[in-house]
Chain A
């Protein structure tokens, strides 16, 4: 087991290095940051001087090595656009993204599992079929379209919820939260639904198919034969077993939720890391882009690692084989 964990960690580090290299080399195709840092009355000397000042005139390997050297120490350089340390900016934006991701995940998991169980148990019912048909929308429509539709319905037409932004936040010292204010909670609803809808649909369909499979198993039939009630059969036996593969998928989807926050944050102007990244691309703010990609990679790789290890513990068959 220990050897397994060590090997997985080694693989994770290798993945991070490769991702960093690929991401960093891609920046050459994003454009030249100099033009956004100088006005239209700049001269050619201005361009050359600034390029030298930022180290952009050095060969790629030198730039990459310098970046890695800083990253290992938690120093990602200074944002070209804001003139502030990137670490500082990311820490400032992280609470917004993480809160949105957490609420979205909660929404997706709770509603997804509930609907999945319902459609499995009542699979021939009208409402179950309606839910299954409607869920195709969650899979088919792109995130930004869902977001804009929700904005027009609830903000423009009904005027129930704010159309963008995070509302008022409370500063808890190093962490700002929108969960403690009325406007913060209202602002969170539409983005969370938009971000979580796809994951909810995925979880619902997964739970449904797994549960249908489980309900066909012999031990379920024996449980019924012993005279156990429906609720006991459905939730204590069937759902428990259904959740084994669902846990794996949910873990992986958490990473996807944080990554896909980019689109949702752009549509709702949600002041998180995703919006920061999109703005960085437009401005060719290389330090911010590099730091964000590394951070997301670490998160993804970390979640994958955690899920793999958790899975090894949760699945008895793997545990036995390990010994």
Chain B
């Protein structure tokens, strides 16, 4: 009897130990800080979504779902939003989460020192109603406010103040730059900036665990060939992005999977609307041809987007006609068609505008910012040349590129835009509004596009509660932008991720990698 009991005990013991599942993922850009309010950029926010949490979050299909708030509702007739907080949530250091942390995080994230301040442009105050209720008051009705703060992450007020991290410090960094204490599913357990970041599951996480990871490691690998070799040799489980020219080869390898999708980023060409003359033309010295609508239309018709998608993007990208992709909230279905490739019509328009013999100009592009950006610009140069517009292409590293645009040193430029709020209002505010520093509008409208009706429509869009009316307003704005050819949207950038074949994960259109959706088989 004793022998039988001992045998059973041994059997039970052997069955008990869980198998450890480690996951290693390679990125091209290491997050430069662990401070969730210091830098509003995808590499930082994407990574920190695994460590910190906001009141709401985005699901696998980008829909807004509850996180630290269990529900939210408008206050009165658009005076703000009331959030009911989740109870029983703990930070990774064991501290309890409550309304004080929300108020603290609001003040911190909306401070001048924070790069996330723009998220709270419409907010006038945040009020603690009780330990688990917070009112966020807005200057005007803001129908998309909950979704627009999906990346606003809540910090532990006690932890931050105890470690002198009450505000982000961009110049010298502080404790929150190198350490993290969120409510998210994973905690940062080791951090070597620029080299390695280790994550382990947050034992006290409030949510239902869908993953089986016991330890995860993030490593930056800048060299695409090295990242590819690391995936093929099994040294890493995930790489992003896969170089497009290697997709076919990976797909034929049984040990790896390629996950293809469409990102939220729209790639487009921009014009110097307010310039009097061209900067880099050798034959047009006293005028700006791009100020003429017909010339801009000619550019749109001259560019063969399907050819670009087929030859440069290898069929991985998607044609687009607006500043947002079809996956975005506010996309105008009625305006889905982009100008057809029609070089003859382009030439006719140019002749009509007085440029029958064409003209020369300077095209500025980055060469390390968007997928195959330099190649796309070379293709555009060739297509424009076919209708008589001769572009001198100047492709440069993105670090030199933005200063050139700000200094108006371009005749045409390439731009990619991914709306952080996943909504059409975002690019209208930043790209299509008349630049206005005081109102913080049009900060990326380098060309100075200006349309009185669009400027009227924006605040209406921002405060319209009724979804159908709001869509109609957005449609009107999009139509104006199309009719005026404010930009030439070309395609939505592809997402191409590579994983080991034993990995299951979810690809999100904003290119954020969420660890709690990963399963290692």
Which B residue sits closest to A165, measured CB to CB?
A: B219
Within 8 A of A (CB), among B431-474: 437, 440, 443-444
- Closest chain-B Cβ to A76's Cβ sits at a distance in Å of 13
| A-B contacts besides A37-B32, A46-B115, 6 pairs, CB < 8 Å | A31-B398, A31-B399, A78-B173, A82-B193, A84-B178, A151-B226
- Say whether B194 faces chain A, with CB atoms less than 8 Å apart: yes
User: How many chain B residues touch A (Cβ–Cβ < 8 Å)?
Assistant: 53
**A-B residue pairs, 7 tightest by C-beta:** A83-B173, A31-B399, A39-B40, A41-B118, A31-B400, A155-B233, A32-B403
Question: In the complex, what distance in Å separates the CA atom of A52 from the CA atom of B210?
Answer: 47
Within 8 A of A (CB), among B132-168: none
| Chain A positions 245 through 287: 1 when the CB is less than 8 Å from some CB of chain B, otherwise 0 | 0000000000000000000001111010001101100111000
Asked if A267 and B226 sit within 8 Å, CB to CB, the answer is: yes
Known: A83-B172, A266-B222. A44 touches B193 (CB 8 A): no
Asked if A155 and B235 sit within 8 Å, CB to CB, the answer is: yes
Q: B430 — which chain A residues lie within 8 A by C-beta?
A: 40-41
Q: Which residue in A38, A151, A276 is a CB contact (below 8 Å) of B194?
A: A276
Q: Which residue in A78, A84, A269, A282 is a CB contact (below 8 Å) of B221?
A: A269
- Say whether A104 faces chain B, with CB atoms less than 8 Å apart: no
Question: In the complex, what distance in Å separates the CA atom of A164 from the CA atom of B232?
Answer: 12
Known: A82-B193, A84-B193. A39 touches B229 (CB 8 A): no
8 sampled A-B residue pairs with Cβ under 8 A: A38-B39, A40-B430, A82-B194, A83-B170, A83-B173, A83-B177, A165-B235, A275-B194
B positions within 8 Å CB-CB of A: 32-33, 39-41, 112, 115-116, 118-119, 169-174, 177-178, 192-196, 219-223, 225-226, 229-230, 232-235, 368, 397-403, 406, 417-418, 420, 430, 437, 440, 443-444
Q: B193 — which chain A residues lie within 8 A by C-beta?
A: 81-82, 84, 89
Within 8 A of B (CB), among A36-82: 36-47, 49-50, 53-54, 78, 81-82
Asked if B229 and A278 sit within 8 Å, CB to CB, the answer is: no
Q: Which residue in A43, A162, A268 is a CB contact (below 8 Å) of B118?
A: A43
- Say whether A243 faces chain B, with CB atoms less than 8 Å apart: no
Question: In the complex, what distance in Å separates the CA atom of A164 from the CA atom of B398?
Answer: 27
Asked if B235 and A41 sit within 8 Å, CB to CB, the answer is: no
Asked if A152 and B229 sit within 8 Å, CB to CB, the answer is: yes
- Which of under 10, 10 to 19, 20 to 34, or 35 or more describes the interface residues of A? 35 or more
Within 8 A of B (CB), among A130-154: 148, 151-152
Question: In the complex, what distance in Å separates the CA atom of A283 from the CA atom of B39?
Answer: 14
Q: Which of B40, B222, B229, B402 has the most CB atoms of chain A within a 10 A radius of its CB? A: B229
Which A residue sits closest to B24, measured CB to CB?
A: A165
Question: In the complex, what distance in Å separates the CA atom of A32 from the CA atom of B39?
Answer: 16
- Closest chain-B Cβ to A44's Cβ sits at a distance in Å of 5
Asked if A45 and B402 sit within 8 Å, CB to CB, the answer is: no
- Closest chain-A Cβ to B321's Cβ sits at a distance in Å of 22
